[in-house]
Amino acid sequence: MRTLRFLLRKEFLQIFRDRFMVALMFVMPIVQLLILSNAATFEVKSAQMYVVDRDHSASSRALVDRLRASGRFVVADASPSMALANDAMLARRVGMIVSIPADFERDIVRMRTATIQLVLNAEDGAAAGVTRSYATQIIASYANELGASLSPAIVAGPALEVRARGWYNPELDYRDYMVPGILVQLVTVVGTLLTAMNIVRERELGTLDQLIVTPLPQSTFIAAKLIPLWVLALVELSLGLLVARFVFHVPMRGNIALVFVAAGIYLVAALGIGLFVSTLVNTQQQAMFVTFFIIMIYLLMSGLFTPIRSMPAWAQMLAQLNPVKHFIGVMRAVLLKGASARDVVQPIAALLMFGVVTLTLAVRQHGRRVG
């Protein structure tokens, strides 16, 4: 125990004297948090629309008007030429083309049915899908309006009224969803990357050999390497949560203690991975690359950026083995949904198992490399 105290002192002294580490632990996360929380949104604002109206009837104009009045579409340009419209889309001046054929109104009056064309720029992906569903909804309700106006004798009243509510995020604010995930990412980077680099640094400089030759037990060495970063990662998490609460107003509806319990256990696994990586490489540069690679895969497959529910079955199964996934689950459940201990027992148990397994494997690997 006494030796551990000496080593912990050395580790803390070294960490705080190392500008690189301090910057990585405090500057990078803050910058990332600020940028990510503002940039990481898929919200669709208004779309630029090109109108190709060959009908020029009251109905066609009314349709365009409905789209415009919804606030989601802005008429950027209009002409009878589809070629010009396509060109505008190629040049990225518009995101959607609405093409109304020449017999639109006539078809509606006579046959009660007409067809229009929507062309969307899917270059930016999911946004196009959202835009399409807005447009089709507006058009469908206009169709209802037309139906009611054409047949006033019929009782105009919807048969079904649907009230829709979104829970936990009524404002549909992306930040509430992304910020907990970002905090997880930051803590992971600090825990895994810095652990790996820290240990590899000793190997690179040659000080590791000097320590091996002493009667220092391996367990003390490892404990001294992992404990300071464990503490610092938790400190960083606390700071991050404070920022999330008071700067971004992310709700904290559940018991925060649960978050810290999950974080403490999760970090054991994260640090273990860092320790494991340190046994695979010889230079700090390699440590950085390998760790980034591993972290990247973990984070991408964890449900942080894309929902796990959308992944194919095999990916969802693999996600169960991903400690990040469980940790994010706990964070979001506790912060956004106000989950209690009973609700998150399962992910926390999973985290515990991962922590134990990862650490054991890593320690054994370290022993093999060093001995």
Binders in 212-251 for other proteins, by CB under 8 A: 212-216
Near other proteins by CB under 8 A: residue from 343, 352, 353, 365: 343
Closest CB to other proteins among 183 and 268?
Answer: 183
Measured in whole angstroms, how far is the alpha carbon of residue 230 from the centre of its chain? 24
325 binds other proteins (CB under 8 A): no
Compute the distance between CA of residue 104 and CA of residue 102 in angstroms, rounded to an integer. Answer: 6
Closest CB to other proteins among 79 and 115?
Answer: 115
* Residues from 295 through 314 that contact other proteins (CB under 8 A): 296-297, 300-301, 305-307, 309-312
Report, in Å, the least distance between residue 254 CB and other proteins. Answer: 9
Contact 100, 116 (CB under 8 A): yes
341 binds other proteins (CB under 8 A): no
Write phi, then psi, for 97 (nearest 5 degrees). Answer: -115, 130
Q: Which stretch binds other proteins (CB under 8 A): 31-39, 69-77, 257-265, 349-357?
A: 31-39
* Residues from 108 through 127 that contact other proteins (CB under 8 A): 108, 112-127
Q: Which stretch binds other proteins (CB under 8 A): 33-41, 225-233, 256-264, 359-367?
A: 33-41
Cβ atoms within 10 A of the Cβ of 201, count?
Answer: 19
Closest CB to other proteins among 41 and 356?
Answer: 41
Compute the distance between CA of residue 118 and CA of residue 57 in angstroms, rounded to an integer. Answer: 18
42 binds other proteins (CB under 8 A): yes
Provide the sign of the torsion angle of the four alpha carbons 64, 70, 72, 75, taken in this order: positive
Report, in Å, the least distance between residue 194 CB and other proteins. Answer: 12
Nearest to residue 226, comparing CAs of 201, 199, 205, 204? 199
289 binds other proteins (CB under 8 A): yes
* Residues from 251 through 280 that contact other proteins (CB under 8 A): 280
Nearest to residue 233, comparing CAs of 272, 275, 191? 191
Report, in Å, the least distance between residue 270 CB and other proteins. Answer: 19
Contact 153, 229 (CB under 8 A): no
- Measured at the alpha carbon of residue 51, what is the angle toward residues 49 and 55, in degrees to the nearest 5? 155
